[in-house]
């Protein structure tokens, strides 16, 4: 049973426009959500996170929105740049439980077009 779903395997966006990556989850007990970015031949790197007590978190060009009632979060990148081309993983966990584990989605490959 896939608890974290990224239904778009890939996404192409024009440089300078907004990139929106989506993620759905099924476990209402998740209280902490993260986005990681991965380039080829490198390990994933942390991008941004959000706690379930918030509905928005912003860091420069990156904003994550959380809709708890819909069990949905999205990552907005504005404006999109060529260096944003990468695979983006959504992840969720119960931060209140240290023995729990982080669940990752399958990833969305973002292509920024010139």
Partner 1 sequence: KAGVTQTPRYLIKTRGQQVTLSCSPISGHRSVSWYQQTPGQGLQFLFEYFSETQRNKGNFPGRFSGRQFSNSRSEMNVSTLELGDSALYLCASSLGGQTKNIQYFGAGTRLSVL
Q: Which residues bind partner 1 (CB under 8 A)?
A: 6, 9, 32, 34, 36, 41-46, 49, 89, 91, 93-95, 97-107
Q: Where are the beta strands (DSSP E) in the chain?
A: 4-5, 10-14, 19-25, 32-38, 45-51, 56-59, 62-67, 72-77, 86-93, 103-104, 108-113
Q: Cβ closer to partner 1: 76 or 94?
A: 94
Q: Give the C-alpha separation, 59 to 14, whole Å.
A: 21
| 40 vs 83, beta carbon nearer partner 1 | 40
Closest distance of CB 50 from partner 1, Å: 13
Q: Shortest gap between Cβ of 90 and partner 1 (angstroms)?
A: 9
């Amino acid at each position: 049973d896939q608890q974290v779903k990224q239904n778009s395997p890939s996404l192409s966006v024009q440089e300078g426009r907004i990139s929106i990556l989506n993620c759905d989850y099924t476990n209402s007990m998740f209280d902490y959500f993260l986005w990681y970015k991965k380039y080829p031949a490198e390990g994933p790197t942390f991008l941004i996170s959000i706690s379930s007590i918030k509905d928005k978190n912003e860091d420069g060009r990156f904003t994550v929105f959380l809709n708890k009632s819909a069990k949905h979060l999205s990552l907005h990148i504005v404006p999109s740049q060529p260096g944003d081309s990468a695979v983006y993983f959504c992840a969720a966990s119960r931060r209140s439980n240290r023995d729990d584990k982080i669940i990752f989605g399958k990833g969305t490959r973002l292509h920024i077009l010139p």
